[in-house]
């Protein structure tokens, strides 16, 4: 710095301190700059939030608009006569013979009677194909449950096939372009839909099948009951294992473990585990639980083990944070009273840390509920029609069911996929709201 600039600078400073209006001007410039940058900062925040909300709204509208259709199902009222002759039996037939009979004849005959003009073999097949292929089984179950209906004539709500259902819900009676038409029905079948609809026999009702059936190859018969039960069983196993293990680990590490290299190493590893991609846990489960211990594959017990590995770090980290947040003065008070270390933890630290621990657990569970990748590795991706009755029955879970359906080509499965996503999101939102409520409820001040 030369002398001349020094003199210039000191003149400027002198001027500044003599002239208060100049000071005020300079401050005004600085204030404007500050205000502008504060505004920019605020707007950046608002825009970020708006972007987030827009994404969520887009996701929700997309899923809901695609999936809402799956909550209704098309039925057709058809008058069916339950008589022995149609089954090719007579009044002397035994019960076993009745059970073994071909019950499909009932509705096929009823349809033939309703449309006598349809005579060709292909046309007849097309007519029958408009109803779910499970109709014979459904009719048989009706007769087995109540044999007295044999000989009577009843109006039966028959479940429409998925192509019929999709066409009726999305295209029928609407003024759509060729390209927008969703129809895999033949012209003859579309004509039949039209005539049935005009006669008032076609109805759409709330789709209870979605919640009472398990997976099926037929979209109109596919439901998520098996997947929901599978998810619940898997989560129960996960909760029963991960909560006690995580809480015990957190308490030991926070309250009892000495600070040394070993505990540092453990801490680093727990944090690393939280960042491991979940599919790795699936591979681990495959290698250890199935290949080494020979556990059965596809079962909720195994799924629970794998998800436990995955959620443990989450719960441990949040539990440790909750324990750390308990003020040391409470521990001192208890120790000063002559409480032992364990008494201090159980009587004072644990109750205070519990809300935080439970919140972490619920968030971990929500994470586990939405997990797909590790379960694919241990075979929970199998096509399972039965509802699991225990943790050692083969099962699938909701997100895997969504994954399976999203792979299916039928238009009706696209709808079901979105519907299953809606159910899963509902569960997740409920769990997270419960976590928030619990935290608010149990939060204590000290």
Partner 1 sequence: MNTAQQSMAEIVKETYQTVGLPLLDDPKMRVRNANVFYADKQAIFDVNLDIGKNQVISMIGPSGCGKSTFLRCLNRMNDTIDICRVEGDLLLEDQDMYDKKIDVVELRARVGMVFQKPNPFPKSIYENVAYGARIHGLTDNKVQLDELVETSLIRCGLWKEVKDRLNEPATGLSGGQQQRLCIARAIAVNPEVILMDEPCSALDPIATATVEELIHELSQNFTICIVTHSMQQAARVSQRTAYFHLGKLIEVNDTSQVFTNPEHQLTEAYITGRIG
354 lies in the site for partner 1, by CB under 8 A: no
When asked if residue 343 is in the footprint of partner 1 (CB under 8 A), the reply is yes
**Dihedral over Cα of 112, 117, 119, 124: its sign:** negative
Q: Which of 112, 184, 225, 348 binds partner 1 (CB under 8 A)?
A: 348
Binds partner 1 by CB under 8 A, chosen from 239, 246, 322, 334? 334
When asked if residue 335 is in the footprint of partner 1 (CB under 8 A), the reply is: yes
Would you say 76 and 160 are in contact if contact means Cβ atoms under 8 Å apart? yes
For partner 1, the closer of residues 194 and 443 by Cβ is: 443
Asked if 193 and 181 touch (Cβ cutoff 8 Å), the reply is: no
Nearer to partner 1, 261 or 444 (CB): 444
Q: Using CB under 8 A as the criterion, what x/- string covers residues 294-333 for binding partner 1?
A: ---------------------------------x-xxxxx
When asked if residue 440 is in the footprint of partner 1 (CB under 8 A), the reply is: no
Which residues have C-beta within 8 Å of that of residue 227, sequence separation ≥ 6?
214, 215, 395, 396, 397, 398, 400, 401, 420
Under a CB-based contact definition with an 8 Å cutoff, are residues 73 and 220 in contact? yes
CA distance 273 to 280: 10
CA distance 341 to 136: 69
Q: Which is nearer to partner 1, 116 or 258 (CB)?
A: 258
372 touches 403 (CB < 8 A): yes
Q: Which of 66, 112, 114, 347 binds partner 1 (CB under 8 A)?
A: 347
- Report yes or no: 70 and 418 within 8 Å, Cβ to Cβ: yes
Q: CB-based contacts of 327: which residues, under 8 Å, 6+ apart?
A: 446
How many residues make contact with partner 1 (CB under 8 A)?
Answer: 22
Contact range with partner 1 by CB under 8 A, out of 172-180, 197-205, 339-347, 425-433 = 339-347
Binding to partner 1 by residue 21, rule CB under 8 A? no
Would you count residue 444 as binding partner 1 (CB under 8 A)? Answer: yes
Please spell the DSSP secondary structure of 297-342, one letter per residue. Answer: TT-HHHHHHHHHHHHHHHHHHHHHHHHHTS-HHHHHHHHHTT--HH
Q: Work out which of 116, 173, 200, 258 binds partner 1, going by CB under 8 A.
A: 258
Q: Interface mask (CB under 8 A) for partner 1, residues 379-418, using x and -?
A: ----------------------------------------
Residues interacting with partner 1, by CB under 8 A? 258-259, 327, 329-340, 343, 347-348, 352, 444-446
């Amino acid at each position: 710095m030369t002398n001349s600039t020094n003199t210039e600078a000191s003149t400027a400073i002198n001027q500044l301190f003599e002239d208060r209006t100049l000071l005020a001007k300079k401050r005004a410039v600085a204030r404007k700059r500050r205000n502008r940058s504060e505004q920019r900062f605020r707007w950046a925040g608002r825009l970020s939030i708006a972007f987030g909300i827009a994404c969520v709204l887009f996701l929700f509208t997309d899923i809901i608009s695609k999936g809402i259709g799956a909550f209704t199902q098309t039925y057709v009222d058809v008058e069916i006569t339950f008589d022995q002759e149609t089954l090719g039996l007579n009044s002397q037939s035994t019960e076993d013979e009745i059970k073994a009979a071909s019950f499909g004849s009932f509705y096929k005959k009823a349809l033939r009677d309703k449309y006598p003009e349809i005579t060709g073999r292909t046309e007849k097949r097309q007519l029958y194909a408009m109803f779910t292929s499970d109709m014979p089984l459904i009719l048989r179950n009706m007769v087995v449950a109540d044999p007295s209906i044999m000989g009577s004539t009843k109006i039966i709500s028959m479940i429409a096939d998925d192509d019929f259902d999709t066409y009726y819900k999305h295209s029928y009676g609407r003024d759509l372009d060729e390209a927008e038409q969703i129809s895999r029905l033949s012209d003859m079948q579309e004509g039949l839909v039209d005539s049935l609809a005009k006669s008032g026999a076609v109805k759409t009702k709330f789709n209870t099948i979605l919640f009472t059936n398990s997976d099926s190859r037929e979209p109109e018969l596919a439901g998520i009951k098996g997947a929901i039960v599978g998810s619940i069983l898997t989560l129960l196993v996960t909760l029963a294992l991960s909560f006690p293990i995580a809480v015990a680990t957190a308490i030991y590490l926070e309250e009892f473990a000495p600070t040394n290299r070993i505990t540092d190493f453990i801490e680093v590893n727990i944090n690393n585990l939280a960042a491991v991609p979940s599919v790795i846990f699936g591979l681990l489960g495959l290698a250890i639980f199935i290949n080494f211990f020979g556990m059965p594959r596809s079962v909720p017990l195994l799924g629970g083990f794998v998800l436990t590995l995955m959620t443990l770090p989450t719960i441990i980290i949040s539990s440790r944070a909750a324990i750390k947040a308990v003020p040391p003065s409470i521990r001192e008070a208890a120790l000063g009273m002559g409480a032992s270390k364990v008494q201090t933890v159980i009587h004072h630290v644990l109750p205070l840390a519990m809300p935080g621990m439970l919140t972490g657990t619920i968030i971990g569970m929500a994470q586990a509920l939405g997990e797909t990748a590790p379960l694919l590795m241990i075979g929970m991706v199998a096509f399972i029609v039965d509802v699991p009755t225990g943790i050692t029955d083969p099962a699938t879970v909701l997100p895997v069911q969504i994954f399976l359906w999203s792979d299916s080509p039928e238009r009706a499965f696209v709808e079901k996929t979105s519907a299953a996503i809606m159910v899963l999101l509902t569960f997740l939102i409920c769990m997270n709201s419960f976590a928030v409520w619990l935290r608010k409820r149990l939060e204590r001040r000290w």
